[in-house]
Amino acid sequence: MKTALIHSDQYTRFDYGPDHPLRMERLGLTWRLMEAYGLTTLAGAKVWAPEPADEAALARFHAGPYLEVLKAVSSGLHLPGAYRYGLGPGDNPIFPGLWEASCLAAGGSLLAARLVADGDVERAFHFAGGLHHAMPDRASGFCYVNDPVLAILALRERGWRVCYVDIDAHHGDGVQFAFYADPNVLTISTHERGDRLFPGTGFVEEHGEGAGQGYAVNVPLEPYTDDPVYHEAFEAVVPPLLGAFKPDVVVAQLGIDSHHTDPLTHLSLSVQGFARTVARIVELSPRLVALGGGGYDLTNVARAWTAAWAVMNGVELRPDLPASFAADMRSFDFRSPSLWDPPSEIPATIRGRAQEFAGRQVDAIRRSIFPVHGLVG
């Protein structure tokens, strides 16, 4: 087994602003926890530093005028109409180096895709990627350039069938949009229901169009969905569809804003529940390009993505965080010295409501999408 970890210290140059929930510190913190566990020097694994993607690569999905605006505002030029491209105060701030940060994120995911496509590795993890909301002509949801779409397009150039599995708490709307009519890309997104959370999409009824009918799959979930309810829904939908679709490669977006302490969302997964889901994705994937995504409690981002990288390499981690990580534990106020969470305590009535809602979504998917893939509904 050969694997690749994609990481760059250059992300420390960029900052969304002191009040923005997406903190670049989460990337360095994750790297240092991986390092403390010895996961950056594993036999068979190699660390790769990405190069920024060039504009031509970004233009495979993004509109030229939008890219020109990104470059202009990144350099400090004031454009009164920038808001038309989703830019400005709020989710998608304008900050120095915005263009360079976007190119670097795209370059990392394209590198991961290339390493897998060329057969250099079987699994690659670019945890700074996974910016799944960006649209062709506008920024959205903290995302300026849609690196998962660019990675999938690169894999499709090889003639490969791609399954995209997105476990972020937010619907992977930008990726779904890109491949909504493409039967060679199966998109599956599990997320908090769209009538409760941004971006307001990702309902079961969104299942593709034209030749892509049945190739967009959405599993919306009730707030406070915990590990047992989540895994029951995941197992009911993802393994059967992957088995029927038979992808050459899986691109996985591993957002950890589904964690029960995340400040922006309302799902209730634990780190170990997240790791269990990653393990299933690894088992089901003939080849794997894994990307990061959301996650706004920095301590849980570091723990979860460290656990994910261990899973990709077949490494079982000890539960106590390494002593060499103690300074970061103090600086970032880790609630516990453990990699794992204590058992969740979801009241039976709330779990029952979440289970009933998830069951209805699964039943709808079985009726509307399974028959397209030759599965019994």
Task: Please tell me the predicted confidence (pLDDT) of residue 341.
Answer: 96
Residue 345 has what pLDDT?
A: 86
pLDDT digits (tens, 9 = 90+) for 105-153: 999 999 999 999 999 999 999 999 999 999 999 999 999 999 999 999 9
301: domain CATH number is 3.40.800.20
Quick: pLDDT tens for 244-254: 999 999 999 99
46 has a pLDDT exceeding 90: yes
Q: Of 140, 37, 21, 135, which Cα lies nearest the Cα of 92?
A: 140
Distances (CA, A) of 162 to 32, 79, 107, 259, 297: 32, 38, 19, 27, 31
- pLDDT at residue 127, as a whole number: 98
Domain count, the chain: 1
Return d(Cα 62, Cα 363) in angstroms, integer: 36
In this prediction, residue 314 has a pLDDT band, given cuts at 50, 70 and 90, of: very high
- The SS3 call for residue 345 is coil
Mean pLDDT value across residues 258-269: 97
* Model confidence, pTM: 0.98
pLDDT tens track for 206-236:
999 999 999 999 999 999 999 999 999 999 9
Closest among 155, 186, 154, 158 to 172, alpha carbons compared: 186
Among 133, 170, 171, 191, which one carries the catalytic annotation? 133
Domain that holds residue 234: 3-373
Residue 90: which residues within 8 A CB-CB, separation 6 or more? Answer: none
Beta pairing class for 249-253 and 288-291: parallel
What is the amino acid identity at position 188?
I
Half-sphere exposure of 1 (CA within 13 A, CB side): 15
3-state secondary structure of 172: coil
Whether residue 377 has pLDDT greater than 90: no
Q: Give the Cα separation of 258 and 96 in Å (integer).
A: 30
Annotated catalytic residue 20: no
Please tell me the number of Cα atoms within 13 Å of 375 on its side-chain side.
Answer: 21
pLDDT the model gives residue 25: 97
